[in-house]
Amino acid sequence: MKDNKANFNKLDYQISHWMYKYGKPILRFALAINFIWFGALKVVWDSPAQELIAATVFWFDPEIFIPVLGVWEVLIGIFMLSKKTLRLAVLLLIFQIPGTFLPLIVLPEACFENFPFVLTTEGQYIIKNLVIIGAAIVAGGSVREREFIKRDIQSADLD
């Protein structure tokens, strides 16, 4: 019985260590792929979100605004690929992401089948941005991770 527990603990440690070591880089690359892909679709005017964007940000010419937004998103994705440019990616994201929630206010009929809980596909697409916000916070927090770990170790040594 002890051997099973020891084997489980060893396997659990190895899996957890792998996730700790590779989780944040994988998260950054997943964010990058999402932003590059969705942004590129806007640039080539082939995004399923373009009608919603045009209806939401009606004060801008959609033929200009949507491709510019697409380029902005592609840049977020490209900057997510490197830790050296991650801060810039997060900065661009801070200005981009609030606009993704505008349809909830400007076009609630496009976002809800039954307010406030039953979302349309468009509403679900918007709400998933909460996950992107959380992922970006985790990725952004990794910029100075070594410094944080070192400081945590030093403070633990003082205790």
Per-residue pLDDT at 154 exceeds 90: no
Q: Report pLDDT digits (tens) over 93-116.
A: 999 999 999 999 999 999 999 988
Give the whole-angstrom CA distance, residue 39 versus residue 80. Answer: 14
Per-residue pLDDT at 71 exceeds 90: yes
8 A C-beta contact, residue 83 and residue 142 = yes
Residue 146 banded pLDDT, cuts 50, 70, 90 = confident
Indicate the SS3 state at residue 148. helix
pTM of the model: 0.88
Per-residue pLDDT at 135 exceeds 90: yes
DSSP 159: -
- Record the tokens describing residue 135, joined without a space: 């992922």
For the chain, give the mean pLDDT.
93
Domain ranges of the chain: 2-158
8 A C-beta contact, residue 3 and residue 34 = no
pLDDT score of 148: 86
